[in-house]
Amino acid sequence: MSGAPRTPPRFVPTLTEVVQNRELAPAPPAVQPAVLQEQIIHRVMQRVDLSLERRLRESVATLVLEQTRSLGPMLREEIESVVRQSVSEAVAEELAQQKQPRRES
């Protein structure tokens, strides 16, 4: 190995060039605390909105199903009562017509 200093190849940057280039590179703009806080609040509100909508939809679906199940027997009883009353009235009217004397032509 010779004692003469070697010059680096032309395409390899030296340490001073790398350090100087970093110093010249623009620093990313500092985010204002208020802007950062607004962004965080906005993201949190979006997550809350999605979660709340999903949970409310599930709760309402459960309540509607429960009400429908409890409404079924009540509707059945009411329909049965109306049908009984209608049949009873129809039979009574038919019997009343049977008792009336018929006119023969």
Digit-coded pLDDT (tens) for 35-91: 899 999 999 999 999 999 999 999 999 999 999 999 999 999 999 999 999 999 999
3-state secondary structure 31-99: CCHHHHHHHHHHHHHHHHHHHHHHHHHHHHHHHHHHHHHHHHHHHHHHHHHHHHHHHHHHHHHHHHHHH
Higher pLDDT, 1 or 61: 61
Q: How is the chain split into domains, by residue range? A: 32-94
pTM: 0.42
Evaluate whether 49 touches 57 at the Cβ level (below 8 Å): no
Helical (H) or strand (E) element with 14: none
Digit-coded pLDDT (tens) for 4-27: 777 766 776 666 655 555 555 566
